[in-house]
Amino acid sequence: MVASEHPNADVRTRGFIQRSTVEEALTWIDSTLPEFARLGVEEVSLIDAAGRVLARDVTSCVNVPGFPRAMMDGFAVRAEDTQGSTPYNRLPLIVRGVSLPGNAFIGTLHAGEAVRIMTGAPMPNGADAVLPFELAQTDGERVMALGEVTPRKHVGQLGEDVGRGDVVARAGRVLRPQDLGLLSSLGFRTAPVIRRPRVRVVITGNELLPMGMAPEGFRITDANGPMLAALVARDAGAPVMSPIVPDDRDAILAAMRQEADVILVSGGSSVGQEDHVPTLLSEHGELAVHGIAMRPSSPTGMGRLDGRLVFLLPGNPVSCLCAYDFFAGRAIRAMGGRSRDWPYRQLQARLTRKLVSLVGRVDYARVCIRGSGAEPLAIGGASVLSSVTRADGFVIIPANSEGYPENAEVDVYLY
Ligand code: AMP
Ligand code: MG
């Protein structure tokens, strides 16, 4: 289909001619993502790498430990010299010196000898076990063994933790603090990670005042900018904010063409006289989906412009949040190498009141958790942002359902 032929390309003052299903919109995103999933690799300091996605397998160039080392404080010994020792049959060993972490004992241990050793210190040549202090009693120049140790007892062997050539972390892993500790111990300073998708947030609307200004007269203050910046950051994208853009075709197009991997346009995506964004996208790029059978967020759109993935999000703040979560967030997470699933914890709860929907439409119903119950909040009111600040989470009513009766057990996604 030629881009400009989208049936909903110009629905200004007419209303949507048809709606895509949520499923179709998700399918379009998933099938389009491979074009956009080549963000490239950046090396970041291990200090900043927690939570980043590893771009390739990391292989160790060294053995850890790099030398046999003591795993207990005590005495390095030849295990055979302790054979037969008990608290009632103490066997004497001559203490030849000491081995400390970073400061090895120089020399070789012979029969009947011991070296005082601390955890992490290199085992002396000739020693094959550590007699812990608990099994030893010092007696001048000598130490008495009070029990037996077997060969290799309390000794960390060369490469026991990590061997040279071992893959220690696989591409796609979300780096945890302990991974960074391991990488550092292998000599790495940086990790190769997938670059964060840069997400340009374009807020449109003649009526909007920027963050920090009190609403005045008929003007309202932008709610979507800070909300979208936070959502993008949550999904590990790098939000880039543009100044608020008026409902002006050239200004909107210029903002949509700024440097980015993903463009989020808030406002102007519906059927109002000043809703220019869908026609702009279909004229200059591709409007792949516009108008989705869901509530709220039905005026959502998506497509491409000059190699950027574009999401048209309704201006109503609740619709904007919902449309971001259904579509844009999924794409941003996937581009960054992360799970497409929602980053919300799930909880099962019983509805305290019925939730009504229409077959053919997906509903996003805000609920409060009261004990083991989920109490639906007013389902309408996509403009009422406090409905989502008061809610603890939301319930999705799928397209094939007319809703849920009171007492039905539902899955709640917790904000
Ligand atoms: P629109 O999607 O442009 O038709 O806007 C729908 C409704 O959301 C209108 O009442 C707008 O004033 C309001 N709105 C649009 N953008 C924002 C925004 N960034 N913050 C708060 N409200 C907005
Ligand atoms: Mg508007």
| pLDDT for residue 1 | 41
The residue ranking higher by pLDDT, 281 or 12, is: 281
Of 321, 277, 322, 325, nearest to 302 by C-alpha is: 277
Residue 2 has pLDDT above 70, yes or no: no
The helix or strand, by DSSP H or E, that contains position 12, with its residue range, turns out to be: none
Q: Which residues fall within 8 angstroms of residue 90, CB to CB, at 6 or more apart?
A: 137, 144, 145, 146
Cα–Cα distance measured from residue 86 to residue 145, given in angstroms and rounded to the nearest whole number: 7
CA 222 to ligand 1: nearest atom: 20
In single-letter form, the type of residue at position 16 comes to F
Show the tokens assigned to 131. 């007699």
Higher pLDDT: 16 or 309? It is 309
Sign of CA dihedral 123, 124, 126, 130: negative
Atom of ligand 1 nearest to the CA of 207: 12
Give the whole-angstrom CA distance, residue 194 versus residue 321.
Answer: 26
110-164 pLDDT, tens digit per residue, is 999 999 999 999 999 999 999 999 999 999 999 999 999 999 999 999 999 999 9
Q: Smallest Cα–Cα separation from 281: which of 298, 297, 265?
A: 265
Alpha helices (H) in 317-414, listed in sequence order: 317-323, 329-335, 386-390
- What would the mean pLDDT of 275-282 be, rounded to a whole number? 96
Quick check: 268 pLDDT over 50?
A: yes
User: Measured from the CB, is residue 376 less than 6 Å from ligand 1?
Assistant: no
Nearest to 243 by CA among 221, 219, 229, 225: 225
Which ligand is in closest contact with the Cα of 206? 2
- Computed over every residue of the chain, the mean pLDDT equals 95
Q: What is the pLDDT of residue 380?
A: 58
Counting ligand 1 atoms within 8 A of each CB, the residue from 277, 312, 383 with the most, and so the one to mutate, is: 383
Nearest CA to ligand 1 atom 11: 315
CA angle 386, 387, 392 (to 5 degrees): 105
Q: Is 278 in the pocket of ligand 1 (CB under 6 A)?
A: no
pLDDT tens digits, 310-344: 999 999 999 999 999 999 999 999 999 999 999 99
Listed in sequence order, the residues at least 6 apart from 134 whose beta carbon sits closer than 8 Å to its beta carbon are: 74
Question: Which of 152, 154, 149, 184 is closest to 168 using CA atoms?
Answer: 184
Cβ proximity of 169 and 179 under 8 Å: yes
Query: Ligand 1, atom 10: nearest CA belongs to which residue?
Result: 316
pLDDT confidence of residue 387: 84
Is the Cβ–Cβ distance between 128 and 115 less than 8 Å?
no
Q: 267 in ligand 1 pocket by Cβ < 6 Å?
A: yes
